[in-house]
Amino acid sequence: MGAKDLVRDASLRLIKGRGNSRERRMGLKDLIIAKKTAILKRWFDMILGTYPEETSNHLRKQADPFANPISHTISKGIEGIFSTVIEGTDIESAFPFLDNIIKLRAVQDSTPSGAIAFILLLKKAIREELKDKIHEGVIYHELLALESNIDEITLLCFDLYMKCREKVYELKANEVKNMTFRLLQRANHNL
Amino acid sequence: MAKLPTPDELSKINYKPPEKRWVNTPAEFKDGFWCFGTRPKYLQAVDMPNPREWKPIEDDWKLPENWKEIFLEGFAERLKKYRSFRLFMDICVRCGACADKCHFFLGTGDPKNMPVLRAELLRSVYRNYFTTSGKLLGKLAGAREITFDVLRELWYYAFQCTECRRCSVFCPYGIDTAEITIICRELLNLLGLNTDWTMGPVANCYRTGNHLGLEPHTIKSIIESMVEDIETITGIKIEPTFNRKGAEILFITPSGDLFGDPGTYTCMGYMMLFHELGLNYTWSTLAAEGGNFGLFTSNEMAKKLAYKIYAEAKRLKVKWILGGECGHMWRVWNQYLETWHGPTDFLETPVSPITGTKFDYTSSLKAVHIAEFTADLIKHGKLNLNPSRNDYLKVTFHDSCNTARGMGIFEEPRHIIRNVCNHFYEMPENTIREQTFCCGSGSGLNAGENMELRMRGGFPRANAVKHVHKHYGINMLANICAIDRAALKPLMDYWVPGVEVCGVHELVGNALVMKGEKERTTTLRSEPLPEKEAKENV
Ligand code: SF4
Ligand code: SF4
């Protein structure tokens, strides 16, 4: 199954989830969208917090996307996830950003959980940002529904992560073959 | 109502790295980030010390008993021998200007990949044994003893630096961390701690003159197979000569151009060009390798391997050397050769037989980079080119670290590309020319087992390619280095699928209108020319 098929599947599951709770979730969705910048910032900071301090200082300071590709990729990636999970845009349009961030995590962190965990931090960011409302208890059910959406995206990201790992193994296996391509071709020719 | 679970209860993963100073955090060897240790037979082949079976991941590296002594003696010797090294150990003011300039730091986020910290790994040892303050104050003066953990750390990070020199461009003192890595690797080599991927080519090159250890007849037959392909594509039979005494020019290129896809297409481009010009040149099957992995091993080894090329030039009595599209081959020639062997007075200052241009700048080395040679031909209008044959390509150019920062070759390849292609777009300014980002696989790091590291190190480069791919539809990443051609391919495959990699002379070969050629229907890759295919399908 290719990455695109994975996305289509997840997209269907998400749409189904949204249909069930759309009416009831309006309140929460509006709240979150109103706090989009704050939530994204909180989420971004939490992810940077997973890097060593000397590194995260740099990642926070440098704004040029080419001088600081990690931050650029992370911020685009989480915006993509946010718009899919919260604002309801289709995953296809967020896919390139999602793909980038997962590719990055798949070669940066040596454990699958470490690579994917950043998505779950969105839950934490939302809960912290909407702490008061959550304590009032009014949006509790909506929150749970929303969090299943986040779980859904997490699963998709896990599949994408596996694709990346397969790719890395494929590249490893092909390395020597590519470098000696002519020789192999010649050897076959002479058989 | 049920108690709401706290966020932390749901995601109980410890994201935060240990809050210790870097000196107290031993290197954690992560899978995919290190290369295999060298096999003893390669060290034995070139008489290098301490050959044995060892595995970087194991706790026992089977070091000689007096390893600390060997290491420190080697250190002292090099401090005396290389004034620049001593200076680099002393003068860093830790201003941090270099900190975020290394592609490995930008791709890994590992602070020990900041050039300043990478150097500090060795500098701290230097302080401990070679400075008064370090001897007296120890840790307070940032000094530390050489222990097994420190040695492991030095090894791990010396092989996460591609010696690309990007950091040095930004250092106000001109400190070149690449040089520090080079010396660090030399010290490691005293203990038999090279990587297999570097040492194999060194041993092979020493024996046969090329990285794969191929005999002369195999080299010849490979080149002849390209001749067959050229004939199929153009209808023209090219007759290259081998080891021909009295030829005007000796042509040397890295063996990647002979064996590896897509280097072979670049090589076909060279041969077509030379044929069209009627160039009086010869191949050497004994010096069939421009690459020199000795540079990534030790000064001595680089010197040993480099000389064969000039010895061949002398034996064949050629006038000058023309070098193919390679990066580190040129670094060795340009930066070290004269110091090692003095001026090459048995050769002549190169003059292009076609344009009469005298390449004065290389009056000592007597070797011309093919990008300069071809740019000069184009400038003098000596080539019949049809750039529309490359119209199916949208090209961007990756400056190779060695030719860019080591030699200042910026305009020549661009001049060529603009004349052989109609669609050329630059990547963002802070990622090209002097500031170019390394492919992430140079200096012998282009092995298979460290693929994760390569993908991370190459990420800043790929990120810039992704940008032009998205905005201009770039589908070809051109370059003038054999390691790039091999290394950028998987890098693109991972980060920017849909972007292929080529040498500049592959583009030249496609565009070159040769006298008496048949109508081209395919590219040098034997793929149908898109416009021809479209016509046929009408
Ligand atoms: S830029 Fe130069 S002086 Fe500043 S920290 Fe880096 S190496 Fe040291
Ligand atoms: S030489 Fe290149 S790889 Fe090495 S520290 Fe400097 S920027 Fe990084």
DSSP reduced 3-state for B396: strand
Q: Where are the alpha helices (DSSP H) in B399-481?
A: 401-405, 411-420, 451-457, 459-472
Statement: residue B96 has pLDDT above 60? yes
Count of CB atoms situated within 10 Å of the CB of A11: 18
Count of CB atoms situated within 10 Å of the CB of A96: 13
A61: closest chain B residue by CA:
B100
Tell me how far apart the alpha carbons of residues B538 and B533 are, in angstroms, rounded to a whole number. 9
- Is there a domain that residue A2 lies in? no
DSSP, res B104: H
Tell me how far apart the alpha carbons of residues B458 and B474 are, in angstroms, rounded to a whole number. 18
Tell me how far apart the alpha carbons of residues A145 and A129 are, in angstroms, rounded to a whole number. 17
**Interval A172-179 mean pLDDT:** 78
- Is there a domain that residue A13 lies in? no
Tell me how far apart the alpha carbons of residues A102 and A43 are, in angstroms, rounded to a whole number. 16
- Is there a domain that residue A34 lies in? yes
For residue B102, give the nearest of B495, B408, B458, B410 by alpha carbon: B458
Phi, psi for B395 (deg, rounded to 5): -110, 140
Are B100 and A66 within 8 A, CB to CB? Answer: no
DSSP reduced 3-state for B296: helix
Q: Which atom of ligand 2 is nearest to the CA of B443?
A: 3
User: What token pair was written down for B138?
Assistant: 């120890």
Domain parsing of chain B, residue ranges: 23-194, 200-536
Q: Which domain holds residue A37?
A: 26-190
Q: Is B173 in the pocket of ligand 1 (CB under 6 A)?
A: yes
pLDDT of A131-153, one tens digit each?
Answer: 887 777 777 778 888 888 899 88
Quote the pTM value: 0.92
Domain count, chain A: 1
B494 and chain A in contact, CB less than 8 A: yes
- Is there a domain that residue A96 lies in? yes
Fold classification of B23-194 (topology level): Fumarate Reductase Iron-sulfur Protein; Chain B, domain 2 (1.10.1060)
Tell me how far apart the alpha carbons of residues B265 and B324 are, in angstroms, rounded to a whole number. 13
- Is there a domain that residue A72 lies in? yes
Q: Find the farthest-apart pair of alpha carbons in chain A and give their distance in angstroms, rounded.
A: 79
pLDDT of B453-502, one tens digit each?
Answer: 999 999 999 999 999 999 999 999 999 999 999 999 999 999 999 999 99
Cα B391 to averaged position of ligand 1 atoms, centre (Å):
45
Q: Is B116 in the pocket of ligand 1 (CB under 6 A)?
A: yes
Q: Which of A20-24, A90-94, B31-35 has the lowest mean pLDDT?
A: A20-24
Are A70 and B106 within 8 A, CB to CB? Answer: yes
pLDDT of B5-25, one tens digit each?
Answer: 444 443 434 444 445 677 778
Tell me how far apart the alpha carbons of residues B202 and B295 are, in angstroms, rounded to a whole number. 9
Nearest CA distance, B319 vs chain A (angstrom): 31
pLDDT of B224-267, one tens digit each?
Answer: 999 999 999 999 999 999 999 999 999 999 988 998 889 999 99
- CB-based contacts of B68: which residues, under 8 Å, 6+ apart? B146
Best residue for ligand 1 mutational test, from B89, B92, B126 (most atoms within 8 Å of Cβ): B92
Residue the block writes with tokens 């995590």: A105
- Is there a domain that residue A58 lies in? yes
Count of CB atoms situated within 10 Å of the CB of B57: 10
B495 and chain A in contact, CB less than 8 A: yes
Which ligand has the shortest distance to the CA of B96? 1
- Is there a domain that residue A94 lies in? yes
Task: Find residue B249's DSSP bridge partners.
Answer: B281, B320
Q: Is B92 in the pocket of ligand 1 (CB under 6 A)?
A: yes
Contacts A114 to B, Cβ<8 Å: 13
Q: Whose CA is nearest to atom 4 of ligand 2?
A: B161
- Is there a domain that residue A4 lies in? no
Contacts B100 to A, Cβ<8 Å: 58, 62, 67-68
Q: What residue ranges line ligand 2, CB within 6 angstroms?
A: B 101-102, 104, 115, 118, 161-167, 177-178, 181
User: What token pair was written down for B490?
Assistant: 């998987």
Q: Is B96 in the pocket of ligand 1 (CB under 6 A)?
A: yes
Tell me how far apart the alpha carbons of residues A144 and A138 are, in angstroms, rounded to a whole number. 12
Contacts B22 to A, Cβ<8 Å: 54
